[in-house]
Amino acid sequence: MKILVCITHVPDTTSRITFTDGDTKFDTNGVQFIIGPYDDYALARAVELKEQLGGSITVLNVGGAETEPTIRKALAIGADDAIRVNAEPKDSFFVAEQIANAAKDGGYDLILMGRESIDFNGGMVHGMVGELLGLPSISPVMTLDIEGDTAKMTREIEGGKEYLEVKLPFVAGCQEPIAEWKIPNMRGIMSARTKPLNVVEPSGNGENTRLEKYELPPAKGEVKMIDADNVGELVSLLKNEAKVI
């Protein structure tokens, strides 16, 4: 089983989001970067599938040199080698095209990634990669098992789930509870240092959108506190002030 796991390099979920350069750049000052949480689920399941079926895991990230610690962490968790496409991710099509070009001759049985990144929340890259490679794409995938050349999975739908089967190869956008996140152990961390990390230059046509400006939401007003002995007041506020019930 040859698995490609695509990972994003994103601000830690607790980061304060601010912008610089006239609101055209994300302010990375004091921000800790992590593997995208959904990508982390994809990677964790890949590690389990490799343990069960043998094979290899390649991780891929589209990003500048600053993403290498994140890539090394994925190697420490259990990937065998890594590809970094040396380019600033511009938009989802740009990223998808880089992934598709890198994957095209790789002979991967499975291409896994998170259902969305937690910075741009696009939720589109898996579908675009599937289309570019002419493969089925399924997302958001909640469970994934492989039996021979067939994958059996469940996909989240509004208020429930769907059971699907598809022949390998295909692309999946993953989410929990597909696997438990894996924490790298000492051996993993040591071996990650020497695992191959191949840097390739970008190719393709580029982006379909152009970022103009970032913006922060307006500040939240003060909370109105209501006495615990006067729940009736909450009901009347919701009725008459907020008008939501």
Ligand X SMILES: Cc1cc2nc3c(=O)[nH]c(=O)nc-3n(C[C@H](O)[C@H](O)[C@H](O)COP(=O)(O)OP(=O)(O)OC[C@H]3O[C@@H](n4cnc5c(N)ncnc54)[C@H](O)[C@@H]3O)c2cc1C
Which residues bind to ligand X, rule: CB under 6 A? 13, 37
Does the protein bind other proteins through residue 142 (CB under 8 A)? yes
| Residues 36/89, Cβ–Cβ less than 8 Å | no
Q: CB of 190: closest distance to other proteins in angstroms?
A: 30
Residue 10 or 85: the one with the smaller Cβ distance to ligand X is: 10
Does the protein bind other proteins through residue 156 (CB under 8 A)? yes
Does the protein bind other proteins through residue 204 (CB under 8 A)? no
Angle subtended by helix axes 125-133 and 92-103, to nearest 10: 40
Q: Name the residue among 86, 66, 84, 78 with its Cα closest to residue 7.
A: 84
Count of residues touching other proteins (by CB under 8 A): 79
Residue 13 or 203: the one with the smaller Cβ distance to ligand X is: 13
Q: Which residues contact 132 (CB under 8 A, 6 or more apart)?
A: 96, 97, 100
Q: Which of 47, 110, 124, 174 binds other proteins (CB under 8 A)?
A: 124
Instruction: Report how far residue 92's alpha carbon sits from residue 110's, in angstroms, rounded to the nearest whole number.
Output: 20
Does the protein bind other proteins through residue 227 (CB under 8 A)? yes
- Peptide bond preceding 140 in cis form (omega within 30 of 0): yes
What is the footprint of other proteins within residues 82-101 (CB under 8 A)? Answer: 92-93, 96
